[in-house]
Structure 1
């Protein structure tokens, strides 16, 4: 073996001759035989085969001999192995029981494919994952192997039918990648060019997919083979225009594709001209109109190419369409004209105005034109009429507003108290825009500065959230109540400053210090779902602000609304939902904050104090917030700190569906590292000793909803989520907070349960280096011993990203 490993084949030859002449060897080392089958020399391999005749060894540590010869494309070794009885059909667990012909097809070993079929291997055999040799040759672009298989009689239907668990036939996959030779071969041997995806995705046909990806030659080959150039359910012309490839568009039009074909599904509604207008393809728009496309052909809710050109901010296309007679008065979505679509599209608006769009009929909002406003005010108009979003003319003032326009509207009687659908007043919007002159003007008009909306609080709440110290000082000077508590979400303005993520940390810190130091904001005022300013600061992870509040007298031992005292409760600082400062500290992911709270309450706290759902700080620590800059993983340091300080690892908390959770189960659900899981399992062993079932602590990983967070606890959401469908901003509650959704949000009763509970568990495979990269047989052995020989992309059904070039 040492001689073989070091390449001393002369010495190896002498040793083999001596061994075969003087010993009766029944089983040769797997390393030696695999290496010789892979690298040779062939004479020494034959010596071993003649001595034992064992060509079908199942050594668990090394690859089978026939597979080594195939991977190396060693035809001489292959012939010797077949000649000594190697079975081309037998599979091996080291290679996931994958038939040898699939290995040869995937890696393009054409000679091996031919030799295997000659030796009796079936060209239509499948592995235990539903893959055949044709499928592997297609998804890896091995056209010569594909040809060899088809010439050997492989069933072409395997190219037309998705493998189990997939919706994508191989011929459709070929249409999305530049494997032109494979595509030609498949069609030449009779594969159906009109195969489609078996799900509802678009594009769905082979031709539409090739058109979408701009593969001109693939489109030509498919059309020549009889692919349908028109289809009501998936018109290829729309996808061709989407690609921007004029030659493909012209090819389809020459074949007779309908120029006004429509495709509408989910949120997609289009004609070829609409796609060209939206994507600013003026040359394609002209080509389509020259071929008869209707300039005003509409889709869902009256949308035309003109609306989409405006939406894409493409003024040249807008002018092109208007010059051809596009109807500028066409209503979109039952409410909007083309002119009203131009809110932030100044160049598009100029085109429409120059074309004579009816200004009196389609009042353009937000163009900041005093002259236009004066002209409109000459008519008897209701200045408080609102749009579908609840905006009045005053709400539509741009930022910064022209005071002259604001004065015109207010002096004519426009209301300052009306709020839009999101609960924002004109004053709120001006504060958020940091428009000091407009805020000053509105407050001089005696707008109610302390009127609180259901969603955003009063004016000072809005100003504190921006972190704009100048704006906050202006509001206080004008009479804002610094201790006004918002009844639902945000509590006091000080709390809002501590929990906001708008503006800069320095600005929010300056606002908090100003409110406390200069205008005597109460650091212990409580309200909202987060309880106190200290709780908000702890949740937000701002150690400096938390220390500042404590130095200013923030109470870590006040009685809650149920009048429970310190002696019976431990850490008695509680929100209405039972959350203590320690709950918020662990949620921040900051070990320093946890240490700070524990040190301030040492000797009189219960580290196992539950909230209203029975969640102790340890349960909270096993659910990472994953928002607002907090860690996305359960922090080992915090879990260990809590356990070291006496946290109970066997505690039980519940979620809205009454499911019980242990810290270990919670950590697993949130994808904790093995280090954290091991720590919790070790801490929970007492429960197992008392007969507790291990199955209780098991959990699959919950699906992380990437853009969602809970509007109550502000944590990122895993699994199912309850969403208020009546709220414009789609208020959402997680698996913990959903039981209180009606209490926390009594304003609507239109809830929808959305999402998927658990992640799917599917085997993934790592990319394996080519055996050609190293002369060491260990490369074959090491990869295959783990069964990791395949690098096909299961997750994409074999759709391999090409470089855009046809082969």
Structure 2
């Protein structure tokens, strides 16, 4: 039998899909194989069922089509018909003996698929015919969870009325309320709460429905959950609150709402990070401004001694850096290892932030506990634009670390030829040695870097 070349579909499959009963009958009478499969493992019955071709489904069943045939992903004709809401096909397949609770490779049943797609009439029929409303997928998801996530309030109500456990959890510890809240389904959230959903339920990582709604900016759900008593300052396993999550994701409307409802803007995560720090790192200037206006301490430090300015500078957030400086951020602040915002910006090659910090008075030649300056940082990471800027602003190209390394030595050890050339052109001593007696050339040769030939041509020695 000829097949459609792309998907290996036979004429029988195509005729079945489109409901051409006479053609289907003719092809079978002429010997077409009823249970042939295409590249996806679909049979003619799958295609007819998925497209709601009830008359063709009837004929195929009479001619021996396999009710329980599964596609490559384990889908049966019943599962496809249920997903697409073809009630008459669903009824016919069940009447002919299709197991209602068969699962696909992901552990989804026909009820899961119908619930996910909001097919309330099909869900009703499946339940009447014995579908298991507590069935869980491979990830622990129930039909109620899928309906909740997708906002199908009619299906949600029906499933709960029929006894679906409201507070069941999936493998990640998420309930139907978590899923509805995460996806901003305010009507379903309302319904779940009315039916006893636990708004303090925590996932395996300690996340509450309020946290998920806050992170995703669903202000209507956030307001509803708080109005119903959700604790605003609950923390997850990392010590993050709903405010941390909203701030990190730049949800300024939700941040405003949380602050109005008593969220603690000084709350610190397990690593000492505040909402202001997270917003600063991610460049959310609107949230940064709002938090500072509401009293967030600008110069708070995390467990590593980093401030919001350190984080914004490290990530190149020039607008936020400007705002923080205007609001009193300390540009000389040092982390536990002596790192300044200028060093972090230099290390990561953020020339606009480097320029701004220097213009505002950041000390260029400050050293961290290892004796590294901003110039060392820029040189070892090959950021020639920042190296140029620092030298123009007076950085010491002879500065040495605790191990007597110069910017030229660190650039050579990393093989940054353009930086090596630039530093030498600016007068960097080519044969300075570190505490081990190694020169730039020796480092370059030892690590097989391409800068060695250039250093030798300039009179470098080992």
**TM-score relative to the length of structure 2:** 0.69
1:402 aligns with 2:390: yes
- When residues 361 and 230 of structure 1 are mapped into structure 2, their CA distance, relative to the original with a 3 A threshold, is same
The 3 A distance-change label for structure 1 pair 166 and 479 is: same
- For 1:478, the equivalent position in structure 2 comes to 458
| 2:168 matched residue in structure 1 | 195
Q: Secondary structure at the match of 1:174?
A: helix
The separation in 2 between residues aligned to 1:355 and 1:69, in whole angstroms, is: 66
SS in 2 for 1:157: coil
Q: Is 2:119 the partner of 1:134?
A: no
How far residue 299 of structure 1 moved from its aligned partner, in angstroms, is: 0.4
Instruction: Give the 5 Å matches for 1:361-380.
Output: 361-362=333-334, 363-366=340-343, 367-368=354-355, 369=358, 372=361
Structure 1 gap segments, 5+ residues each: 1-30, 49-56, 378-382, 465-471, 485-807
Q: Give the Cα–Cα distance (whole angstroms) in 2 for the partners of residues 282 and 170 of structure 1.
A: 34
d(CA) in 2 for partners of 1:259, 1:304: 15
CA apart distance, 1:256: 1.5
**2:211 counterpart of 1:263:** no
CA distance in 1 between counterparts of 2:430 and 2:409 reads 18
Distance 1:385 1:436 in 2: 26
1:213-292 aligned within 5 A: 213-232=183-202, 233-264=206-237, 270-292=240-262
Aligned counterparts of 1:450 and 1:303: Cα–Cα separation in 2: 42
Match of 2:349 in 1: none
After TM superposition, the structure 1 = structure 2 runs for residues 737-752 of structure 1, keeping only pairs within 5 Å, are: none
Q: Compared with structure 1, are the counterparts of its residues 393 and 93 closer, same or farther at alpha carbon in structure 2 (3 Å cutoff)?
A: closer
- Contact 2:430 / 2:440 at 8 angstroms: preserved in 1? no
- 1:236–1:72 CA distance, 2 compared to 1 (3 A): closer
Q: Distance in 2 between matches of 1:287 and 1:101?
A: 46
- Name the count of aligned residue pairs: 403
How many angstroms apart in 1 are the aligned matches of 2:48 and 2:33?
15
**DSSP-derived class of the 2:237 partner:** strand
Higher RCO structure, 1 or 2 (CA under 8 Å, sep 6+): 1
Out of 151, 159, 168, the position equivalent to 2:128 is: 151
Pick the aligned partner of 2:180 from 181, 204, 210: 210
Query: For the Cα contact (< 8 Å) 1:430–1:438, is it kept in 2?
Result: no
Determine which of 307, 326, 338 is the counterpart of 1:354.
326
Q: Is residue 211–residue 236 contact of structure 1 (8 Å, CA) maintained in 2?
A: yes
Counterpart CA distance in 1 for 2:411 and 2:43 is 77
Other-structure match for 2:88:
111
Aligned equivalents of 1:416 and 1:441: distance in 2?
23
| Structure 2 CA distance for partners of 1:231 and 1:424, relative to 1, 3 Å | farther
Q: Which has the larger radius of gyration?
A: 1
Query: Hey, what's the Cα distance between the residues in 1 that align with 2:264 and 2:446?
Result: 46
Worse-superposed segment, 122-131 or 286-295: 122-131
CA change 1:396–1:235 in 2 (3 A) is same
Write the distance in 1 (CA, Å) between the matches of 2:332 and 2:44: 85
Distance in 1 between the 2:445 and 2:245 partners?
A: 41
CA distance in 2, matches of 1:95, 1:450: 64
1:329 aligns with 2:284: no
CA distance in 2, matches of 1:451, 1:65: 73
CA contact (8 A) 2:211 2:245 kept: yes
Report if the CA contact (8 A) 2:397-2:423 is conserved: no
The C-alpha deviation readout for 1:485-542, integer Å capped at 9, x for no partner, is xxxxxxxxxxxxxxxxxxxxxxxxxxxxxxxxxxxxxxxxxxxxxxxxxxxxxxxxxx
Q: How does 1:776-791 map to 2 (within 5 A)?
A: none
Q: State how far apart, in whole Å, the 1-side matches of 2:411 and 2:429 are.
A: 14
**Residue 440 (structure 2) pairs with residue 441 (structure 1):** no
Which secondary structure state, in structure 2, belongs to the residue aligned with residue 156 of structure 1?
coil
2:372 and 2:140 mapped to 1: Cα distance? 46
How far, CA to CA, are the matches of 1:273 and 1:157 in structure 2? 34
C-alpha distance in 1, partners of 2:45/2:399?
91
Structure 1 Cα separation of the partners of residues 231 and 255 of structure 2: 14
Distance 1:223 1:71 in 2: 35
CA offsets per residue over residues 640-680 of structure 1, 9 Å max, x none? xxxxxxxxxxxxxxxxxxxxxxxxxxxxxxxxxxxxxxxxx
CA distance 1:372–1:303, change in 2 (3 Å): same
Partner of 1:711: none
Partner in structure 2 of residue 418 of structure 1: 405
Alpha-carbon distance in 2 for matches of 1:316, 1:230: 29
CA distance in 2, matches of 1:100, 1:371: 69
1:176 corresponds to: 149
Q: Matches of residues 13-24 of structure 1 in structure 2 within 5 Å?
A: none
- Partners of 2:100 and 2:129 within 8 A in 1: no
CA contact 2:409–2:443 (8 Å) conserved in 1 = no
